[in-house]
A and B are shown apart, each in its own frame.
Chain A
Amino acid sequence: MWEQIRANQTRSVVLTAGMGILLLLLGYFLGLYFFGSGIGGLIIALIVWGLMSLVAYFQGDNILLAVSRARKISRDDHPQLYNVVEEMKIASGLEKMPDIYIIDDPALNAFATGRNPDKAAVTITSGLLAKLNRDELQGVIGHEISHIKNRDVLLMAMCAVMLGTIVILAWYATRILFFSGMAGGRRSSRSGGGQAQIIILAIGILLMILAPIAAQLIYFAISRKREYLADASSALYTRYPEGLASALEKLAASTTQLKSANQATAPMYTVNPFRKEGKPASNLTSTHPPILERIRILRAMSGASLSDYDQAYRQARGGVGIAPASALALDGAAGGAALRAPSPETKPVEELPQKVERARETSDLMWRLSDYKTIYCTCGTKLRVSPNFKGTSVKCPHCGRTNSV
């Protein structure tokens, strides 16, 4: 496991370094063009990047959680969710229990945050919570916990910042170039080094156009690898790949868009939150591997070990697998990663009452989190009382009895 994390880190570091070089090149040539000094541009690029990185490092998770309007829950709010997270914490050997947040949104998604395993949190939408059975929930949480365990969260946040910096620099440079071009071309009137000037301009424009695209591609490459690895780890932790597979199936079939996601936060989610409204997630690639392929790989696994995933992955995609041979050899020696049976709660075909019960539980939770009081009238009606309600009693609209608040 460790070796494999390390090998993955090496690969990610190489890709990240590639992105860094791209950023420096862009800064250098823009500087050279606009101020006639490459170093100046380099420094500006580094300052912008440094500031954004600091903010992302220290406040990134708080900002992300605040922007997505996520609310922290405790064990009593939803014992099952808490238990499942704790189970995955134990299975992954994480030392500290991550915080748990819920987003009140019918869209189906989940993500992990936190710059290190001690400051980690998992977040899930109420829609997903209502939709998944215990095994599926375990698969999804296992996926998120392995993002924490493999330290993907910090890496992806840092990559997102670098990508953001490149995009911002290129964007501003394009505007400035465009407007100064309209204003008569300050640069072209400058004497000396005409040929060099043109070359620099050409390289600058080329970089402005290509850098954001290249950075995006690198970013996607990193995040896709990480998604596969998280799927593999989830299967290993739960010993039940079918759980995640069937959860992904539900995600793929869903067509609701998450309201509170944006470009930079997209790779944090289990499935891409940016598919078009009404369009299923299955045919969208970008930051996430095609969801149907992920399901296919998980279903093709003959055991729950990483080498089983690797084998299924190679069958589905051809070429090299996800983990280095040394890690797989060690993992194969464990030999104990046999698949487990589904938990007794999981029925082959879910009955309606079960679904209704889960949806009700989740909506109760959301009401409670918004400080609404619930009163059970003797006629069986549930009354929700807003926190703004000042009165001392409320009349049941169903049977007319008066209930005290």
Chain B
Amino acid sequence: MNESRAGFIERWMPRTIASRLYLILSVGLLLAYGLSFGLLFYERYVAAMSLMLDTLERDIATSVAVLDRLPAAERGDWLTRLQRGNYRYILGPGETDGPLVSGRAQRVTRLIGEALGERFSVHGNTTSTTPERYQVHLTLSDGQPLTIEITPGAAPVAQWLPVVLVVQLGVLLLCTWAAVRLTTRPLARLADAAASLNPSAGGQHLQEGGPVEVAKAVSAFNAMQDRIADHLAERLRILAAISHDLQTPLTRMTLRTEGMDESHERDKLLGDLDEMQHLVREGVAYARSAHSASEPPRRVDPDAFLDSLVLDYQDAGKAVTMAGRVGAPVMTRPHALRRVLGNLVDNAIKYAGAAELRIDGGHGRPVSIAVLDRGPGIPDDELDAVMQPFYRLEASRNRGTGGAGLGLAIAQQLTLSIGGSLELRNREGGGLQVTLTIEGRDG
């Protein structure tokens, strides 16, 4: 039951809080206004009606008595003096065809008949339905026919009333809009801040202003940001401390092992030590990658940058090639960028034995650098997970090829810190393509 209601709300309500509030408040206001307007209208109508009937009754009785007493020749002069806003007197039979159509007309006719008493017999008929008009006929005592033509007034409500109502409604809707905006704006600001949260970048604090509730939420957010930054700093300290303290015993172990006589065991020990060293280095590198925002952005020639990177690999005898050209400088953090690309290329070499780099963009467009290989790729459902630190694909769990599982995590962290994005996807025909995109702001 509850679920279906929630589903209903989700389906039929607008998506944003702002429009939901608008909708609820506007519908409520419209209903309330409609009701009170209707009530007012009805009340006024009833009051006016009974007042009108009251005066009509007395007025007409008096007028008819006066006309009846006047000599027939003078009656014409009095007619205009006796007439009122919604009825007038006609000396003559008038139009006598047809019945009385509306209940109100019948009631008025009956009332007139009662007011005039036994002396006059009265009958009425409707002459026009829109606008409603009807005539009540009677015969004065000297035999002259007299007709009372009644034109019931329009709604007994002042013309300006609806205008005032509309204006009021408008003012209220405007207030609603302001209130909703006031409420949702800080929320949006908070959401933006949370989305762009990067505690390693020193975490810019939101300004703690505005209404108490908002200020509270903002200060809670800022405190949370500080806590995250503290945690990150602590993580870095711990990782750095552990790895640093491991250096000396590892060095000793390496030297001691090297001093041993040549044997299979010795080679194995050296291999293990090598792996441990690798793990320690990667761990520190990862911890640092979260704090790498200190490097200032520079104008960098992306072509020379990639070219030198590729040449370094080629000089080391690795099969790394490059295609594409940008031809315009970009603003970026060269050290971090180099580390990211280094990790990606290292990965490609590790799993595929070769890597191909493609660069594109620039001249105001984002620069994208793709690292492609023809290795085994990554199962589609693990593409996101491999960016997590210490995540290794099931197939490479044995450390022979698996490494520390930090290469991509470091690349991802650093990419974020230079304001870029990293996208992994499997290539058609096998292999992995990792695309690094950085803002193409000209230097």
Are A and B part of the same complex?
no
Query: A residues engaging B (CB < 8 A)?
Result: none
